[in-house]
Amino acid sequence: MQRSCLAIVLAAGESTRMRSSVSKVLHPIAGRPMIAHVMESLAAAGVGEAALVVGRDAEAVARAAARPDLRIHTVEQTERLGTGHAVLAAAEIIARGYDDLLVVFGDTPLVTPQPLKEALAAVAAGNDVATIGFETSRPGGYGRLIVRDGELIAIREAKDATAAELAITFCNGGLMAIDGRKALDFLRAITNQNAKGEYYLTDLVEIARSAGGRAVAVRASEAELGGCNTRAELAHLEALWQARRRDELMLSGVSMIAPDTVYLAFDTEIAGDVLIEPNVVFGPGVRIERDVVIHAFSHLEGAHVESGASVGPYARLRPGAHLHAKAKVGNFCEVKQAEIGAGAKVNHLTYIGDAVVGAETNIGAGTITCNYDGVNKHMTRIGAHAFIGSNSALVAPVAIGDGALVASGSVITEDVPADAVAFGRARQELKPGRAPILRARYQAMKAERQKRQD
């Protein structure tokens, strides 16, 4: 029979050290709130129900934490009296009865499902408490995990530790699994008799042992248990997340010339045999298929790039951009809410917005789709095998037929039928011999201006 589990997610931080106007768990890592990363790991660990302990920005935190695969109860922590006190804010929900209780923090966005599973497995195996810890060469102010013969004897806060205990490098990550049948009794036994006058969740280890129970510690990496209290720590967590995800992608067959310069979003999908050049940024909602090249200094968000296509350098794909197989969007181009057909080329200095470009069509340099009338957006539809000459303006709504040709420098305001040639520009005039006269006039004007300045 599957065990029932309630996760207690502590997310009532005030953001005091963040110097922020919003709750710290709402600050993003890889483009989404850090609380959402935590909830994803809980769901992946098999947790189906969570009590979200909130304070500041309660409604926004609840929205950010919401997932269809997690039943979430929101409870408010009105006082800040320590982690043990925070968990007891969910006492009414805990009392409904669960096999396991799992306590996590909303500001540990790098935690993976594996240590959560291991802690729950330890409780399922008969232990009363399973704490998740990490080894570090800089234990500093972390609580120390005191382990003897495989059993966790105590968690000692740094301010209460002896010199010998401070030498321990196995430290408390703060996350903990508890036998759900005993959790409330353990939690209510916590006192605030310590240097900070707070109710420490870590006291559960000694409380469980004094009741004849057993506690153990499971290990996770230091990186995935890192919390966030300052903007500097937020940047550090972002860097760690990015490095981890880049490694995962490269191991899956993605090539990155300068990995440290590539920035990914939480949901970036990149298939194998993709080459990413330096200084590329992926916003949310990007899917890249196989054999694509993303050239340097490109920015993609909400875009789908099919196999064999090429992007950049210095290209911007905005939400709704869809490049079909072997399409090309080149340097200093922007594509928004537009389909670029298979084999079509948008090579340089061009804006294509709210448009459909057919297969094998060529869009000349400097072309723009004039999609906005100041109030509404309008569509431009360009057929297959068409040619749009350089520096053309296509004033939407407008349609260019298959195989049509638009002359360079044209302003197109009416539909162009298939295989037609469209000219939308003023007639060129010639004035033989006038160039020397104009040059003399301009030189005289310049001389007069310089004379006045002198």
Lowest mean pLDDT among 186-200, 212-226, 266-280, 389-403: 186-200
* Mean pLDDT, residues 392-404 taken together: 97
* Mean pLDDT, residues 6-25 taken together: 89
CATH 2.160.10.10 placement within the chain: 231-422
Beta bridge partners of 71: 49
Select from 3.90.550.10, 3.40.50.300, 1.10.357.10, 2.60.200.30 the CATH code of 5-225.
3.90.550.10
pLDDT of 20 > 90? The answer is: no
CA distance 314 to 305: 16
CATH 3.90.550.10 placement within the chain: 5-225
Asked if 295 contacts 312 with a C-beta cutoff of 8 angstroms, the reply is yes
pLDDT per residue over 433-445, tens digit each? 998 898 899 899 9
Fold of 231-422: UDP N-Acetylglucosamine Acyltransferase; domain 1 (2.160.10)
Confirm or deny that 365 is annotated as ligand binding: yes
CA distance 369 to 209: 72
pLDDT of 249 > 80? The answer is: yes
Asked if 417 contacts 436 with a C-beta cutoff of 8 angstroms, the reply is no
CA distance 203 to 365: 69
pLDDT per residue over 342-387, tens digit each? 999 999 999 999 999 999 999 999 999 999 998 999 999 999 999 9
Confirm or deny that 425 is annotated as ligand binding: yes
Secondary structure string (H, E, C) spanning the chain: CCCCEEEEEEECCCCCCCCCCCCHHHCEECCEEHHHHHHHHHHHCCCCEEEEEEECEHHHHHHHHCCCCCEEEEEECCCCCCHHHHHHCCHHHHCCCCCEEEEEECCCCCCCHHHHHHHHHHHHCCCCEEEEEEECCCCCCCCEEEEECCEEEEEECHHHCCHHHHCCCEEEEEEEEEECCCHHHHHHCCCCCCCCCCCCHHHHHHHHHHCCCCEEEEECCCHHHCCCCCHHHHHHHHHHHHHHHHHHHHHCCCEECCHHHCECCCCCEECCCCEECCCCEECCCCEECCCCEECCCCEECCCEECCCCEECCCCEECCCCEECCCCEEEECCEEEEEEECCCCEEEECCEEEEEEECCCCEECCCCEEECECCCCECCEEECCCCEECCCCEEECCEEECCCCEECCCCEECCCECCCCEECCCCCCCCCCCHHHHHHHHHHHHHHHHHHHHC
Q: Do the strands 129-135 and 170-179 form a parallel or antiparallel pair, or are they unpaired?
A: antiparallel
Catalytic residue among 27, 304, 322, 348: 348
Q: State residue 17's pLDDT score.
A: 84
Q: State residue 197's pLDDT score.
A: 78
Confirm or deny that 358 is annotated as ligand binding: no
pLDDT of 1 > 80? The answer is: no
Cα 215–chain centre separation: 36
Confirm or deny that 157 is annotated as ligand binding: yes
30 or 80, which is more confident: 30
Confirm or deny that 154 is annotated as ligand binding: no
Confirm or deny that 83 is annotated as ligand binding: yes
Q: State residue 361's pLDDT score.
A: 98
Q: Band of the pLDDT at 304, cuts 50, 70, 90?
A: very high
Lowest mean pLDDT among 150-164, 279-293, 327-341: 150-164
Instruction: State the chain's maximal CA–CA distance in angstroms.
Output: 108
427 or 181, which is more confident: 181
304 catalytically annotated? no
Confirm or deny that 71 is annotated as ligand binding: no
* Mean pLDDT, residues 310-316 taken together: 98
CA distance 229 to 305: 38
Residue with tokens 């970036």: 268
Q: State residue 427's pLDDT score.
A: 84
Tell me the pTM: 0.90
pLDDT per residue over 111-137, tens digit each? 999 999 999 999 999 999 999 999 999
